[in-house]
Each structure stands twice: as structure tokens, then as C-alpha cells.
Amino acid sequence: MDGSTPDSLLIELKRLQAAQARSTLGYADRIADLKRLRAAVKSRAEDIVAATSADFGRRSRHETLLSDVMTVLHDIDYTLKNLKRWMKPRRVSTSWQFLPGRSEIRFQPVGVVGIISPWNYPVNLALMPLVAAIAAGNRAMLKPSELTPRTSELLKAMLAEVFPSDQVCVVLGGPDVAAQFSTLPFDHLFFTGSTSVGRIVMQAAAKNLTPVTLELGGKSPAIIAPDYPMTTAAARLTAGKFLNAGQTCIAPDYILAPADQISALTQALRKELSERYPSLRSSVDYTSIATDRHYLRLQQLLEEAQAGGAQIIQINPANEALDPANRIFPPTLVLNPPAQSRLMSEEIFGPILPILPYRSLDEAIAYINDHDRPLALYHFDLDSERTKRVLDSTIAGGVTINDCVLHIAQSALPFGGVGPSGIGHYHGHHGFLTFSKQKPVFYQARWSSLSLLKPPYRNFADRLIAFLTR
């Protein structure tokens, strides 16, 4: 659906809602839908690679296959394996005062789900919430990003082949369409994007009292313990930070390192980056920045930090001249970044990594807790007691210990932020629950204990109430 207007979007939503009211998608339907979706993603893997690379200018084929294809296939597989169990009504305990009645929770689809997905992982972040919505028996409207137009067109064509038009609808368009989309009276609205836009989406949804899941971002810290091997930390931080050239919502946004080991960490990161990307200009493994606007923003962040006294270390092993038109932004380390700079107040979303010194673990924890709760936190430490202290003393959307970003790949773990970094969770069973109404049901028995308690109340009622409120 293109060239959308508020009226046309609402008409499309009502069409999906009418279809949802006419027929319930049962277990067999959901399994069949998920299997068709899996087959479509797998068969179009190279098309996805080509489309995303064309949209970015240059995107690592391997990173696309891992982050936009494999993750979706694995999530579908996990859902297929567990869906029957998730859908079963769940018996729960009944308060003894109401025995022999019984209680259960039933899981029903909420209705029609709206999904607004971003550009940085354009397939993963569109299809993962769609998998959860379909698994829960819902219909869906999807608004993919206009900043990856080829991938959005591919998603639209692929999903039109997999699903009937009254089950899944893809809406294309720019920010104006996204703004209109967020005002629709969905039964649930799922948004992935920046915190600033998330606030706008939540305000729009509030007018209809539409429940929202917001997958946002923020400045995710990494702490390195004093005795953790710097070479290991550097290797794993490089993998997590420079995946997709840093254009990842859970990429480590800055490092807190022992003050006396900043030099050793810097050298280890230099070595690791030089070995991974010996030629930035010709490497097919290093992704370009997705848009000119974002590239310019990253440049401005660095210029402001440098003007404030920061030391800028760009890693360009072959000393190549890089054409800004190709948007290849060198991996960059920043030492002593000004605390009030945009680099330290905004989510970076690029291959720039500030490094901050700390003198005690309490200082590092205090720094994290003085800022908004992050989407992710990374702690590198071989001391289990110290690790427990960090886990107990900080709040973050998710955590990986002694590595980066890998918690997002665990299907049994919920994924989501907290406060400014997000609201709600998905992935696996948690996505199924997000898009289900958990309906509580109490079944009264043939004989009801409460039948003993009815007007006109007498002495027995007084004694019974006194017993129950003892």
C-alpha cells in the first residue's frame, strides 16, 4: 500500500479488523503461516543481502546473513517448536476460600498489531515482531523504513506472497506516513527506533489508549574490570561495536576502563581493528553509514568533541583517502570526551567509541546510574562476586557478561529496554505474551463455598468473616 493518507490507512486497518473478527487463526493456521514465512526468508536470503547492501551503499554480506536472516530463521524455529505449549490454557492455583472452583489463564490474540520498523536491521526488526504477532494469532500492518527503500519493497513483495492481504499489510512511505500510522487505533503498536521518536509515537498512541511496545536505544556502557585481559576485551568489544559499523541499538556506546589501563586498551583496540579491516576502502566486511545525513551527524559529533579537548584516534590502517560520498566512516576511538558534549549525551549509532577512565568500581557504577537506564550493559570480569555486584547495582534492558550483544540472540530471553531505552519485551515466548491477551478465567464448582455467605447475614456470617479476616 503506497501513497497512504490517514483515511486510506484507517480503511486498511478496519479491513484487517473485520477479517480478524470473522475468523480466528488457530494453531494449524499459525504453524502453516510461520513455515511459509521461514521458507520465503530462506529462499530470498541473497535478495535480502543485495537489497540491504544497495540501500546502505555497502553492507557486509556475512553480517546481513547473520543479523537479518539467521536471527529470523532461528526465532521462527524456536516458535514452531514451542507454540503448542504456549497456546495451551495454563492452570493456576485458586485461593482456598473459593475451592472447589478452579482458575486458569487463556491466551487470545489482541487483534490487529501495528509495527513500525527501522532501517539499521531492516529485515530482522520488521520480521521478528511480525513472527510474534502471527504466533499469537493476530493480523498485522507493517510500516518499514523509507531509508532502506529497496529492502522495504522486497519485504512488501515477499509478505504479499506469504500472507493474504487481509492478514498482513505493508505500508510504504516517509515520516508523514509513519506519523499517521502511529495515530491509528491498533490493538497494539510496536515501534523500534530512537528515544525521541518513541516519545512522539507513545503520545500519538495514547489518544486511542493503544498499548505500545517501544524498542528504543540509549547509551549502553561497557565496564572492563582491572584484571580482565585487555586483548580479549578488545576483541569482543570490537565485534560488538563495529558490527554494522556501529549502527546497532545495543552496540556498546562507551567504555569504562581502569584509568591505568587506558593506553593498553587503546593499543589492543587499534591492533584488533587493523587486523579486521586492513583496508577500509576495499573491505567488503566493513559496512558504510546508511545515509548522508547520518554520516554528517557523526562528523559533527567528533568535531564538537575534539573542539572540547577530546583526543581523536581514527583507525585507517592503509592510510587511504576515503570519499565521503561512499560514507565509509573510519573506526574511531575518543579519549577524554567532554562530559557535556553531544557525543556523551546522544546515542552515537556509528563506529565511534569513547573511552572513559574510572578509579574504582563504585565510580563506574555511579556513572552509569547517574544517566538514563541503558538498553544494554556489558561487564568484562572473571570475578563472580564483582560481577554480581554490578548486576545488582545497575538496571539495564539486557546484559551480556564477558562479551557484547549476544543476549539478543537467546530466544528464551526477553529483549527490551527500561524507561528511556524502551517499554515492553519480545522474542520467543515473551513476544507471544506481548501480543496475547492473558484472559483470567474462574470456573465455579457445582457447590460454592460462598453460598454459605449471603443475606440475611446472621451469626454464622459474623464468625465466618472473622475467620477469613483473622
- Which residue in the list 12, 63, 169, 249 is annotated as catalytic? 249
CA dihedral 84, 89, 91, 94 (to 10 degrees): 160
Q: Is 363 a catalytic residue?
A: no
Above 90 in pLDDT, residue 183?
A: yes
- pLDDT tens profile 292-349: 999 999 999 999 999 999 999 999 999 999 999 999 999 999 999 999 999 999 999 9
Identify the CATH number of the domain defined by range 221-409: 3.40.309.10
**Domains 6-216+420-440 and 221-409 fall in the same CATH topology:** no
The pLDDT value recorded for residue 3 is 57
Identify the CATH number of the domain defined by range 6-216+420-440: 3.40.605.10
Q: Which residues contact 75 (CB under 8 A, 6 or more apart)?
A: 128, 131, 411, 427, 428
Average pLDDT over residues 219-223: 98
What is the number of helices (H) and of strands (E) in the chain?
16, 16
- Which residue in the list 63, 215, 272, 347 is annotated as catalytic? 215
Average pLDDT over residues 391-398: 98
Closest CA to 402 of 390, 394, 393: 390
The pLDDT value recorded for residue 63 is 97
Q: Is 404 a catalytic residue?
A: no
- pLDDT tens profile 127-156: 999 999 999 999 999 999 999 999 999 999
Confidence band of 52 (pLDDT split at 50, 70, 90): very high
Q: What mean pLDDT value characterizes the chain?
A: 95
Cell of 458: 446472621
* pTM score of the predicted model: 0.95
Above 80 in pLDDT, residue 5?
A: no
Alpha carbon of residue 293 to chain centroid: 23
In whole angstroms, give the CA distance from residue 181 to residue 277. Answer: 41
Bridge partner residues of 213 (DSSP): 190
Write down the domain spans for the chain.
6-216+420-440, 221-409
